[in-house]
Structure 1
Amino acid sequence: MLTIYGVYRSRASRNYWMAEELGIEFKSVPVMQGSRLANPLAADAPINTLSPEFLAINPMGMIPCIKDGDLIMHESLAINLYLARKYGGPLAGQTVEEEGLMAMWSMWAATEVEPHSVAIVRIYDNAKEKSEPGKAGIAVACRSLKRPLDVLEKHLQGQDYLIGGRFTAADLNLAEVLRYAQTEQDLFDSHPQVKAWIGRCQARDAYKAMQATRGKEPV
Protein backbone atom coordinates (compact mmCIF):
# COMPACT_ATOMS: atom_id res chain seq x y z
CA MET A 1 0.00 0.00 0.00
CA LEU A 2 1.14 3.55 -0.71
CA THR A 3 2.10 5.48 2.43
CA ILE A 4 2.12 9.27 2.38
CA TYR A 5 4.09 11.00 5.13
CA GLY A 6 3.01 14.54 5.94
CA VAL A 7 0.06 16.54 7.24
CA TYR A 8 -2.48 17.85 4.77
CA ARG A 9 -1.47 21.43 5.71
CA SER A 10 1.81 21.09 3.87
CA ARG A 11 3.04 20.30 0.38
CA ALA A 12 1.77 16.79 1.05
CA SER A 13 -1.65 18.15 0.03
CA ARG A 14 -0.48 17.70 -3.58
CA ASN A 15 0.10 14.00 -3.09
CA TYR A 16 -3.13 13.46 -1.17
CA TRP A 17 -5.02 15.18 -4.00
CA MET A 18 -3.29 12.96 -6.55
CA ALA A 19 -4.09 9.80 -4.60
CA GLU A 20 -7.74 10.88 -4.47
CA GLU A 21 -7.74 11.54 -8.23
CA LEU A 22 -6.31 8.10 -8.93
CA GLY A 23 -8.70 6.38 -6.54
CA ILE A 24 -5.91 4.37 -4.95
CA GLU A 25 -5.78 3.09 -1.42
CA PHE A 26 -3.22 4.86 0.74
CA LYS A 27 -2.12 5.22 4.34
CA SER A 28 -1.56 8.68 5.78
CA VAL A 29 1.16 9.22 8.38
CA PRO A 30 0.57 12.78 9.66
CA VAL A 31 4.15 13.98 10.06
CA MET A 32 4.04 17.66 10.98
CA GLN A 33 6.62 20.38 10.53
CA GLY A 34 9.08 20.46 13.43
CA SER A 35 9.10 24.25 13.28
CA ARG A 36 5.49 24.27 14.48
CA LEU A 37 6.43 22.65 17.80
CA ALA A 38 8.06 24.29 20.81
CA ASN A 39 10.19 21.19 21.42
CA PRO A 40 10.02 18.79 18.47
CA LEU A 41 12.40 16.35 20.17
CA ALA A 42 10.42 16.09 23.40
CA ALA A 43 9.48 12.56 24.44
CA ASP A 44 5.77 13.34 24.05
CA ALA A 45 6.11 15.31 20.80
CA PRO A 46 4.03 14.05 17.86
CA ILE A 47 5.98 12.63 14.94
CA ASN A 48 7.48 15.54 13.05
CA THR A 49 10.17 16.36 10.53
CA LEU A 50 12.88 16.19 13.21
CA SER A 51 11.76 12.88 14.72
CA PRO A 52 14.38 10.13 14.37
CA GLU A 53 11.79 7.70 12.98
CA PHE A 54 10.94 10.12 10.17
CA LEU A 55 14.56 11.01 9.46
CA ALA A 56 15.12 7.31 8.86
CA ILE A 57 12.62 7.64 5.99
CA ASN A 58 13.79 11.02 4.67
CA PRO A 59 17.15 12.20 6.02
CA MET A 60 16.43 15.66 4.58
CA GLY A 61 13.69 16.05 7.17
CA MET A 62 11.17 17.42 4.70
CA ILE A 63 7.57 16.53 3.97
CA PRO A 64 6.02 15.03 1.99
CA CYS A 65 7.61 11.69 1.46
CA ILE A 66 6.11 8.44 0.20
CA LYS A 67 6.85 4.78 0.56
CA ASP A 68 5.44 2.57 -2.17
CA GLY A 69 6.59 -0.99 -1.73
CA ASP A 70 10.38 -0.75 -1.50
CA LEU A 71 10.47 2.66 -3.16
CA ILE A 72 10.95 5.77 -1.03
CA MET A 73 10.54 9.17 -2.70
CA HIS A 74 10.43 12.78 -1.65
CA GLU A 75 9.84 16.01 -3.64
CA SER A 76 6.07 16.41 -3.97
CA LEU A 77 5.89 17.30 -7.67
CA ALA A 78 8.11 14.38 -8.68
CA ILE A 79 6.01 12.06 -6.52
CA ASN A 80 2.90 13.09 -8.45
CA LEU A 81 4.55 12.46 -11.81
CA TYR A 82 5.57 9.02 -10.55
CA LEU A 83 2.08 8.19 -9.28
CA ALA A 84 0.51 9.30 -12.56
CA ARG A 85 2.95 7.18 -14.55
CA LYS A 86 2.49 4.13 -12.33
CA TYR A 87 -1.30 4.14 -12.20
CA GLY A 88 -1.92 5.52 -15.68
CA GLY A 89 -5.24 6.89 -16.82
CA PRO A 90 -5.91 10.38 -18.18
CA LEU A 91 -3.73 12.12 -15.57
CA ALA A 92 -0.63 10.43 -17.02
CA GLY A 93 1.21 11.31 -20.19
CA GLN A 94 -0.15 9.37 -23.16
CA THR A 95 2.99 9.90 -25.25
CA VAL A 96 6.66 10.59 -24.63
CA GLU A 97 6.00 14.16 -25.72
CA GLU A 98 3.22 14.59 -23.16
CA GLU A 99 5.44 13.16 -20.43
CA GLY A 100 8.12 15.66 -21.37
CA LEU A 101 5.64 18.54 -21.23
CA MET A 102 4.31 17.37 -17.86
CA ALA A 103 7.84 17.37 -16.47
CA MET A 104 8.49 20.80 -18.02
CA TRP A 105 5.41 22.43 -16.50
CA SER A 106 6.06 20.81 -13.11
CA MET A 107 9.65 22.07 -13.01
CA TRP A 108 8.47 25.46 -14.25
CA ALA A 109 6.03 25.55 -11.34
CA ALA A 110 8.83 24.76 -8.90
CA THR A 111 11.38 27.23 -10.26
CA GLU A 112 9.41 30.14 -11.73
CA VAL A 113 6.28 30.24 -9.58
CA GLU A 114 6.69 28.59 -6.19
CA PRO A 115 9.45 30.82 -4.75
CA HIS A 116 7.11 33.80 -5.10
CA SER A 117 3.82 32.13 -4.18
CA VAL A 118 5.39 30.61 -1.06
CA ALA A 119 6.78 34.02 -0.12
CA ILE A 120 3.19 35.30 0.06
CA VAL A 121 2.10 32.47 2.35
CA ARG A 122 5.06 32.97 4.65
CA ILE A 123 4.33 36.68 4.97
CA TYR A 124 0.76 35.93 6.01
CA ASP A 125 1.91 33.21 8.41
CA ASN A 126 4.31 35.67 10.06
CA ALA A 127 1.47 38.19 10.25
CA LYS A 128 -0.32 35.91 12.71
CA GLU A 129 2.35 36.86 15.22
CA LYS A 130 2.62 40.50 14.11
CA SER A 131 0.29 43.40 13.48
CA GLU A 132 -0.15 43.04 9.71
CA PRO A 133 1.37 41.30 6.70
CA GLY A 134 4.39 42.81 5.02
CA LYS A 135 2.66 44.74 2.24
CA ALA A 136 5.92 45.58 0.52
CA GLY A 137 6.98 41.93 0.46
CA ILE A 138 3.64 40.86 -1.00
CA ALA A 139 3.89 43.54 -3.66
CA VAL A 140 7.35 42.27 -4.65
CA ALA A 141 6.08 38.68 -4.86
CA CYS A 142 3.11 39.73 -7.00
CA ARG A 143 5.37 41.66 -9.36
CA SER A 144 7.60 38.60 -9.64
CA LEU A 145 4.59 36.43 -10.46
CA LYS A 146 3.31 38.71 -13.21
CA ARG A 147 5.63 37.42 -15.94
CA PRO A 148 4.99 33.70 -15.25
CA LEU A 149 1.25 34.35 -15.11
CA ASP A 150 1.41 36.32 -18.36
CA VAL A 151 3.06 33.27 -19.95
CA LEU A 152 0.45 30.93 -18.49
CA GLU A 153 -2.38 33.25 -19.55
CA LYS A 154 -1.19 33.16 -23.15
CA HIS A 155 -0.71 29.38 -23.08
CA LEU A 156 -4.27 28.82 -21.85
CA GLN A 157 -5.87 30.86 -24.63
CA GLY A 158 -8.26 28.53 -26.39
CA GLN A 159 -7.64 25.51 -24.15
CA ASP A 160 -8.93 24.42 -20.76
CA TYR A 161 -5.83 22.62 -19.49
CA LEU A 162 -2.06 22.64 -19.92
CA ILE A 163 -1.59 19.52 -22.04
CA GLY A 164 -3.66 17.30 -24.30
CA GLY A 165 -7.01 18.98 -23.72
CA ARG A 166 -7.55 17.25 -20.39
CA PHE A 167 -6.68 17.58 -16.69
CA THR A 168 -3.30 15.95 -15.98
CA ALA A 169 -0.72 15.72 -13.22
CA ALA A 170 0.84 18.88 -14.63
CA ASP A 171 -2.35 20.85 -13.95
CA LEU A 172 -2.57 19.44 -10.44
CA ASN A 173 1.06 20.29 -9.68
CA LEU A 174 0.87 23.85 -10.98
CA ALA A 175 -2.55 24.54 -9.44
CA GLU A 176 -1.27 23.52 -6.02
CA VAL A 177 1.80 25.74 -6.37
CA LEU A 178 -0.36 28.69 -7.42
CA ARG A 179 -2.87 28.10 -4.61
CA TYR A 180 -0.44 29.81 -2.23
CA ALA A 181 -0.95 33.07 -4.12
CA GLN A 182 -4.75 33.00 -4.32
CA THR A 183 -5.06 35.48 -1.47
CA GLU A 184 -4.03 38.10 -4.04
CA GLN A 185 -7.26 38.36 -5.99
CA ASP A 186 -6.11 41.23 -8.21
CA LEU A 187 -3.34 39.02 -9.56
CA PHE A 188 -5.87 36.45 -10.78
CA ASP A 189 -8.49 38.98 -11.87
CA SER A 190 -5.90 40.42 -14.23
CA HIS A 191 -5.31 36.94 -15.70
CA PRO A 192 -8.84 35.65 -16.46
CA GLN A 193 -7.70 32.51 -18.30
CA VAL A 194 -5.55 31.51 -15.35
CA LYS A 195 -8.37 32.29 -12.93
CA ALA A 196 -10.83 30.15 -14.89
CA TRP A 197 -8.29 27.32 -15.23
CA ILE A 198 -7.50 27.12 -11.51
CA GLY A 199 -11.22 27.26 -10.81
CA ARG A 200 -11.74 24.20 -13.03
CA CYS A 201 -8.92 22.37 -11.25
CA GLN A 202 -10.28 23.17 -7.81
CA ALA A 203 -13.83 22.19 -8.76
CA ARG A 204 -12.78 18.56 -9.04
CA ASP A 205 -14.19 16.11 -6.51
CA ALA A 206 -10.72 14.85 -5.55
CA TYR A 207 -9.56 18.37 -4.72
CA LYS A 208 -12.65 18.95 -2.59
CA ALA A 209 -12.04 15.67 -0.75
CA MET A 210 -8.45 16.66 -0.03
CA GLN A 211 -9.51 20.09 1.21
CA ALA A 212 -12.22 18.61 3.43
CA THR A 213 -9.63 16.54 5.27
CA ARG A 214 -7.17 19.45 5.32
CA GLY A 215 -9.82 21.65 6.91
CA LYS A 216 -10.08 19.28 9.88
CA GLU A 217 -6.41 19.68 10.78
CA PRO A 218 -5.35 22.33 13.30
CA VAL A 219 -4.03 25.53 11.76
Structure 2
Amino acid sequence: MELYHWPMSHNARKARALARHLGVAVQEVPLSMQDKDHKADSFLAINPMGQVPAIKDDDYTVWEANAVLIYLAAQSPNDLLGQSAQEWGHITQWMTWQSVELSPVVVPLHVENHFKRVRGIDADAVKRDAAKQKLRALLKILDDTLDGKDHLVGDRLTVADFAVAGDFTHARNAHFPLSEYPNVARWLKGIETLPAWADTTPPQIG
Protein backbone atom coordinates (compact mmCIF):
# COMPACT_ATOMS: atom_id res chain seq x y z
CA MET A 1 0.00 0.00 0.00
CA GLU A 2 1.40 3.38 -1.03
CA LEU A 3 0.60 6.58 0.85
CA TYR A 4 1.34 9.69 -1.18
CA HIS A 5 2.09 12.83 0.78
CA TRP A 6 3.90 16.15 0.97
CA PRO A 7 5.83 16.54 4.26
CA MET A 8 4.46 20.07 4.83
CA SER A 9 0.82 19.09 4.29
CA HIS A 10 -1.36 19.18 7.38
CA ASN A 11 -3.84 16.84 5.71
CA ALA A 12 -1.19 14.32 4.73
CA ARG A 13 0.36 14.53 8.20
CA LYS A 14 -2.73 13.09 9.89
CA ALA A 15 -2.81 10.15 7.47
CA ARG A 16 0.87 9.40 8.01
CA ALA A 17 0.44 9.69 11.77
CA LEU A 18 -2.56 7.38 11.85
CA ALA A 19 -0.81 4.73 9.74
CA ARG A 20 2.18 4.81 12.09
CA HIS A 21 0.00 4.83 15.20
CA LEU A 22 -1.80 1.68 14.03
CA GLY A 23 1.27 0.02 12.54
CA VAL A 24 -0.34 -0.20 9.11
CA ALA A 25 2.21 -1.31 6.54
CA VAL A 26 2.42 1.55 4.07
CA GLN A 27 5.13 2.82 1.78
CA GLU A 28 5.23 6.58 2.23
CA VAL A 29 5.78 8.26 -1.13
CA PRO A 30 6.75 11.93 -0.75
CA LEU A 31 5.82 14.32 -3.52
CA SER A 32 7.44 17.67 -4.26
CA MET A 33 4.87 20.40 -4.66
CA GLN A 34 7.60 22.72 -5.88
CA ASP A 35 8.35 20.31 -8.71
CA LYS A 36 4.62 19.86 -9.43
CA ASP A 37 4.74 16.12 -8.73
CA HIS A 38 1.08 16.32 -7.68
CA LYS A 39 0.14 17.49 -11.18
CA ALA A 40 1.98 14.72 -13.00
CA ASP A 41 -0.18 12.37 -15.07
CA SER A 42 1.04 9.40 -13.04
CA PHE A 43 -0.30 10.93 -9.81
CA LEU A 44 -3.47 12.34 -11.37
CA ALA A 45 -4.31 8.76 -12.33
CA ILE A 46 -4.39 8.05 -8.57
CA ASN A 47 -6.05 11.29 -7.47
CA PRO A 48 -7.58 13.39 -10.26
CA MET A 49 -7.81 16.30 -7.79
CA GLY A 50 -4.01 16.45 -7.61
CA GLN A 51 -3.98 16.65 -3.81
CA VAL A 52 -2.45 14.72 -0.94
CA PRO A 53 -2.88 12.41 0.83
CA ALA A 54 -3.87 9.59 -1.47
CA ILE A 55 -3.68 5.81 -1.14
CA LYS A 56 -2.91 3.24 -3.81
CA ASP A 57 -3.50 -0.30 -2.62
CA ASP A 58 -2.96 -2.63 -5.56
CA ASP A 59 -5.75 -1.61 -7.97
CA TYR A 60 -7.65 0.34 -5.34
CA THR A 61 -7.22 4.07 -4.82
CA VAL A 62 -8.77 6.42 -2.30
CA TRP A 63 -8.28 10.15 -1.81
CA GLU A 64 -9.68 12.99 0.29
CA ALA A 65 -7.87 13.07 3.63
CA ASN A 66 -10.67 11.87 5.89
CA ALA A 67 -11.60 9.03 3.54
CA VAL A 68 -7.95 7.98 3.68
CA LEU A 69 -8.14 8.01 7.50
CA ILE A 70 -11.18 5.75 7.47
CA TYR A 71 -9.52 3.32 5.06
CA LEU A 72 -6.36 3.18 7.17
CA ALA A 73 -8.30 2.66 10.40
CA ALA A 74 -10.23 -0.21 8.80
CA GLN A 75 -7.02 -2.12 8.10
CA SER A 76 -6.80 -3.64 11.58
CA PRO A 77 -9.03 -4.41 14.58
CA ASN A 78 -9.28 -1.26 16.72
CA ASP A 79 -11.91 1.06 18.12
CA LEU A 80 -10.79 4.25 16.39
CA LEU A 81 -13.90 4.15 14.20
CA GLY A 82 -16.22 3.99 17.21
CA GLN A 83 -18.01 1.29 19.16
CA SER A 84 -21.61 2.26 18.45
CA ALA A 85 -23.82 4.00 15.92
CA GLN A 86 -23.88 7.03 18.18
CA GLU A 87 -20.09 7.21 18.30
CA TRP A 88 -19.81 6.75 14.55
CA GLY A 89 -22.33 9.54 14.09
CA HIS A 90 -20.24 11.93 16.17
CA ILE A 91 -16.99 10.81 14.55
CA THR A 92 -18.50 11.53 11.13
CA GLN A 93 -19.85 14.83 12.43
CA TRP A 94 -16.41 16.05 13.51
CA MET A 95 -14.67 14.80 10.39
CA THR A 96 -17.24 16.62 8.24
CA TRP A 97 -16.92 19.75 10.40
CA GLN A 98 -13.17 19.68 9.92
CA SER A 99 -13.31 19.44 6.15
CA VAL A 100 -16.27 21.79 5.58
CA GLU A 101 -15.85 24.41 8.31
CA LEU A 102 -12.37 24.35 9.85
CA SER A 103 -10.05 23.62 6.94
CA PRO A 104 -11.30 26.49 4.70
CA VAL A 105 -10.47 28.87 7.57
CA VAL A 106 -7.16 27.33 8.54
CA VAL A 107 -5.61 27.29 5.07
CA PRO A 108 -5.71 31.09 4.57
CA LEU A 109 -3.99 31.56 7.94
CA HIS A 110 -1.30 29.06 6.98
CA VAL A 111 -0.73 31.00 3.77
CA GLU A 112 -0.95 34.55 5.10
CA ASN A 113 0.80 34.15 8.46
CA HIS A 114 3.33 31.44 7.70
CA PHE A 115 4.08 30.52 4.11
CA LYS A 116 4.04 34.08 2.79
CA ARG A 117 6.21 35.26 5.68
CA VAL A 118 8.96 32.71 5.04
CA ARG A 119 8.95 33.75 1.38
CA GLY A 120 9.23 37.41 2.25
CA ILE A 121 5.77 38.23 0.89
CA ASP A 122 3.45 40.62 2.70
CA ALA A 123 0.31 39.07 4.13
CA ASP A 124 -3.09 40.08 2.84
CA ALA A 125 -4.40 41.66 6.04
CA VAL A 126 -8.03 41.50 4.95
CA LYS A 127 -7.90 37.76 4.25
CA ARG A 128 -5.85 37.11 7.39
CA ASP A 129 -8.14 39.03 9.73
CA ALA A 130 -11.32 37.58 8.25
CA ALA A 131 -9.96 34.05 8.63
CA LYS A 132 -8.85 34.69 12.20
CA GLN A 133 -12.28 36.01 13.15
CA LYS A 134 -13.94 32.90 11.73
CA LEU A 135 -11.35 30.69 13.43
CA ARG A 136 -12.18 32.15 16.83
CA ALA A 137 -15.83 31.19 16.42
CA LEU A 138 -14.86 27.63 15.48
CA LEU A 139 -12.33 27.35 18.31
CA LYS A 140 -15.04 28.38 20.75
CA ILE A 141 -17.20 25.47 19.60
CA LEU A 142 -14.25 23.09 19.88
CA ASP A 143 -13.25 24.45 23.28
CA ASP A 144 -16.77 24.02 24.66
CA THR A 145 -16.90 20.46 23.34
CA LEU A 146 -13.59 19.57 25.00
CA ASP A 147 -14.53 20.98 28.39
CA GLY A 148 -13.71 18.17 30.83
CA LYS A 149 -12.79 15.82 27.98
CA ASP A 150 -9.51 14.56 26.54
CA HIS A 151 -10.97 13.41 23.22
CA LEU A 152 -13.66 14.55 20.80
CA VAL A 153 -15.76 11.38 20.90
CA GLY A 154 -16.18 9.09 23.88
CA ASP A 155 -13.36 8.67 26.35
CA ARG A 156 -10.61 7.55 23.99
CA LEU A 157 -8.74 8.43 20.83
CA THR A 158 -10.66 8.09 17.56
CA VAL A 159 -10.10 9.04 13.94
CA ALA A 160 -11.98 12.26 14.71
CA ASP A 161 -9.07 13.42 16.86
CA PHE A 162 -6.61 12.75 14.05
CA ALA A 163 -8.88 14.45 11.50
CA VAL A 164 -9.27 17.68 13.47
CA ALA A 165 -5.76 17.80 14.95
CA GLY A 166 -4.23 17.82 11.49
CA ASP A 167 -5.48 21.36 10.97
CA PHE A 168 -3.35 22.52 13.92
CA THR A 169 -0.09 21.30 12.37
CA HIS A 170 1.05 24.87 11.64
CA ALA A 171 -0.95 26.50 14.43
CA ARG A 172 1.96 28.18 16.17
CA ASN A 173 3.67 29.46 13.05
CA ALA A 174 0.32 30.65 11.71
CA HIS A 175 -0.46 32.42 15.00
CA PHE A 176 -3.63 30.60 16.02
CA PRO A 177 -4.94 32.21 19.24
CA LEU A 178 -4.74 28.95 21.21
CA SER A 179 -4.03 30.68 24.53
CA GLU A 180 -7.63 31.92 24.46
CA TYR A 181 -8.98 28.36 24.28
CA PRO A 182 -7.40 26.30 27.08
CA ASN A 183 -9.39 23.13 26.42
CA VAL A 184 -8.27 23.06 22.80
CA ALA A 185 -4.66 23.70 23.85
CA ARG A 186 -4.82 20.88 26.41
CA TRP A 187 -6.35 18.45 23.91
CA LEU A 188 -3.75 19.36 21.29
CA LYS A 189 -0.93 18.85 23.78
CA GLY A 190 -2.25 15.35 24.40
CA ILE A 191 -2.25 14.59 20.66
CA GLU A 192 1.29 15.89 20.39
CA THR A 193 2.48 13.33 22.96
CA LEU A 194 1.63 10.49 20.57
CA PRO A 195 4.91 9.14 19.13
CA ALA A 196 3.32 8.83 15.68
CA TRP A 197 2.31 12.50 15.79
CA ALA A 198 5.76 13.64 16.85
CA ASP A 199 7.37 11.47 14.16
CA THR A 200 5.41 13.24 11.42
CA THR A 201 6.20 16.81 12.47
CA PRO A 202 6.81 18.81 9.28
CA PRO A 203 10.27 20.25 8.67
CA GLN A 204 10.67 23.78 9.96
CA ILE A 205 10.97 26.53 7.39
CA GLY A 206 11.76 30.14 7.97
Global fold match (TM > 0.5): yes
Separation in structure 1 between the aligned mates of residue 125 and residue 32 of structure 2, nearest angstrom: 28
TM-score (norm 2): 0.89
Separation in structure 1 between the aligned mates of residue 126 and residue 49 of structure 2, nearest angstrom: 32
Which residue pairs with 1:28 in the alignment? 28
Which residue pairs with 1:88 in the alignment? 77
Point out where structure 1 has 5 or more consecutive residues left out of the alignment.
Answer: 41-47
Which residue pairs with 1:8 in the alignment? 7
Matches for 1:128-143 after TM superposition, within 5 Å: 128-143=118-133
Which residue pairs with 1:113 in the alignment? 102
Structure 1 letter corresponding to 2:64:
E
Which residue pairs with 1:215 in the alignment? 203
Kindly tell me: are residues 129 and 210 of structure 1, through their superposed partners in 2, closer, same or farther at Cα, counting changes over 3 Å? closer
Contact 1:3 1:67 in 2 (8 A): yes
Which residue pairs with 1:44 in the alignment? none
Structure 2 letter corresponding to 1:152:
L
Contact 2:53 2:68 in 1 (8 A): no
Structure 1 letter corresponding to 2:148:
G
Matches for 1:1-219 after TM superposition, within 5 Å: 2-10=1-9, 11-33=11-33, 36-37=34-35, 40=36, 48-123=37-112, 124-183=114-173, 187-211=177-201, 214-215=202-203
> Which structure is richer in relative contact order (CA contacts within 8 A, separation 6 or more)?
2
Q: Deviations over 1:130-151 (max 9, x none)?
A: 3543444322211101111111
Query: Cα offset for 1:177?
Result: 1.4
TM-score (norm 1): 0.84
Query: Cα offset for 1:184?
Result: 5.3
Query: Cα offset for 1:100?
Result: 1.7
RMSD: 2.1
Contact 1:3 1:27 in 2 (8 A): yes
Separation in structure 2 between the aligned mates of residue 184 and residue 121 of structure 1, nearest angstrom: 5
Query: Cα offset for 1:49?
Result: 1.0
Query: Rg larger in 1 or in 2?
Result: 1
Point out where structure 2 has 5 or more consecutive residues left out of the alignment.
Answer: none
Q: Deviations over 1:140-182 (max 9, x none)?
A: 2111011111111111111111111111110011011133433
Kindly tell me: are residues 182 and 128 of structure 1, through their superposed partners in 2, closer, same or farther at Cα, counting changes over 3 Å? closer
Separation in structure 1 between the aligned mates of residue 198 and residue 178 of structure 2, nearest angstrom: 20
Structure 2 letter corresponding to 1:120:
L
Contact 1:110 1:177 in 2 (8 A): no
